[in-house]
Amino acid sequence: MSSSDKPLVNRVANSALITINLENYFPDKLSFVEIDIKDYLFKELILKEKDFRTALKEINWENYKGKTVLLYCSADAIIPVWAYMLFSAQLAPYADLIHFGKKTHFLEEHYNKSIAELDLSIHEGKRVVIKGCSDKEVPASAYVSLTRALQPFAQSIMYGEPCSTVPIFKRPRKV
């Protein structure tokens, strides 16, 4: 039998590699709305309490019903904590979730929490690939957290696709 007559074998499918796709932990069901506090400041720099409170009264809070609201300030202004608290108090009856920070910050916290809740001991002694190239927003910090959390268990950790990986960690063989 010549080499051209041999059946093709998918060595990747037959390998013992375990793939973890962080994209599976993306919070798909959340609808994000960002509120930039600078839009409620005098000249986008100064918080005038009376004007600020008046502006909050004019907001149609129903627009935030069922949303994940992300509060932040993009201006280089000193914002007292109570300003965020006022927004939060107004949003509470409407928003599903209120978070301080932009979407990237929210996703970092979300992924860190999701990774902390995983039972990674099931990967004891296994060869693990952390899938790269995602279609959804997966922050670099999630890859760092997962690598750190997997290290005590995995025999090896790789990044990429099972057919083309970058070695990240390999446990030394016991003598």
Calpha distance 31→148 (Å, rounded): 30
Distance in angstroms between the alpha carbons of the first and the last residue of the chain: 41
Amino acid at 115: I
Contacts of 151 (CB under 8 A, 6+ apart): 157, 169
Q: Is the pTM of this model over 0.85?
A: no
DSSP letters spanning 46-81:
B--HHHHHHHHHTS-GGGGTT-EEEEE--SS----H
Inter-residue contact 140 to 169 (CB < 8 Å)? no
For residue 12, what pLDDT is reported? 43
For residue 6, what pLDDT is reported? 61
Amino acid at 23: E
CA distances from 19 to 6, 127, 134, 162 (A): 28, 9, 13, 7
Rounded average pLDDT per 10-residue block, the chain, 175 residues: 53 68 91 93 87 93 95 92 94 96 94 96 96 89 96 95 89 81
Place of tokens 């990967």: 123
